[in-house]
Amino acid sequence: MPVPASVIRTLAKGINLSHWLSQHSLDEPHLQSYIGEKDFALIAKLGFTHVRLPIDNALLQSPDGSLREQGFTYVDRALDWAQANRLGVVIDLHPVPAPKIAQDATAYAHFEKLWQAIAQRYVRRPLNVVYELLNEPVEPNPQAWRDTAIQLVQAIRKVDKRHTIIVCGHNWSGPDDLPAVRPIEDNNIVYTFHFYLPHEFTHQGATWGSAHWRPLRNVPYPLNMENAQPLLAGLPENSAAALRRLAEQGVDIGWIERRMTPVVEYQKQYRVPLYCGEFGVYRAFSPPDSRYRWLADVVKTLQKYRIGWAMWDYKGGFALLTTDKPEPKADEGVVRALFNG
């Protein structure tokens, strides 16, 4: 069956619940306390339609492939909280690093077993629960990734023919990766990409990723030679060169739209629904007003092409929240950017 219209509506506006069931040590005190029902209530109140729920395989499965029932209870609870607040959920398998399932037969077998267990457990859940095969597979061969995705979809469909599945491109799921992966012969699939361009703005000061991001501070958006020039003199050569190249291009909403052209063309060519499962700006060193403008321009562009989205993230380094004590409080500038442009 095709992707239900209700699922498209569910995927319209989302937020990533990162660093809860993934990207953490997964100790019980953290799992019990990091996110609670009050967070789901706030997310719904703000106007989001779903949460994307990154989950580390290790929460649900031991290294030998056996399943961990206790881990599933945390997912059950998240789905219950979402349902109580009329939110959809993207179940996003999000191990870091991603397992080499296109190259390692044992890793693939464990992964398929896990997806069949997830599908079996949640087959009767409402259709606003959606399955995302794997976050950023970092697989350099697009055909190998497509073949693997086909196998996983077929394995899920043996036990669950109802729920929509989300499939990404190879590599890091960027907008240039998805077009290399032709759609799969299953109509109930949404295709996803992530958008963090330009990284010199969205990841300025980040201690991971490319080394030339680390020295960057106070990079503005929109970016041009006039506002970039004062920053260049104090930067190492590689950072300055990267920033200068961007400033010469001029980074604004037109630049953002041009960088989304590959996925927009994919959407038109294959007539498939798209979903931007991650986009955001690292808070620590980015000017707040520039962050808000970039978020607003990305959302405007996505909505122009009827692409659903989920901002990265709720409580992490790119956070929607300004504090979670005593109660969670959202950054009003981010909320305006996402919902009012």
> Angle at the Cα of 53 (from 47 to 56), degrees rounded to 5?
165
Say if residue 179 is preceded by a cis peptide, omega within 30 of 0.
no
Tokens of 10: 């569910």
| Cβ–Cβ < 8 Å for 153, 131 | no
Of the residues 112, 139, 200, 278, only one is catalytic, namely 278
How many helical (H) and strand (E) elements, i.e. helices and strands, does the chain have?
14, 10
- Write the DSSP assignment of 237-291 as a string of letters: HHHHHHHHHHHHH-BSHHHHHHHTHHHHHHHHHHT--EEEEEE---STTS-HHHH
Backbone angles phi, psi at 160, to 5 degrees: -145, 105
Is 136 a catalytic site residue?
A: yes
Pairing of the two strands 308-311 and 274-279 = parallel
- Of residues 112, 132, 136, 139, which has the active-site annotation? 136
User: Active-site positions?
Assistant: 136, 278
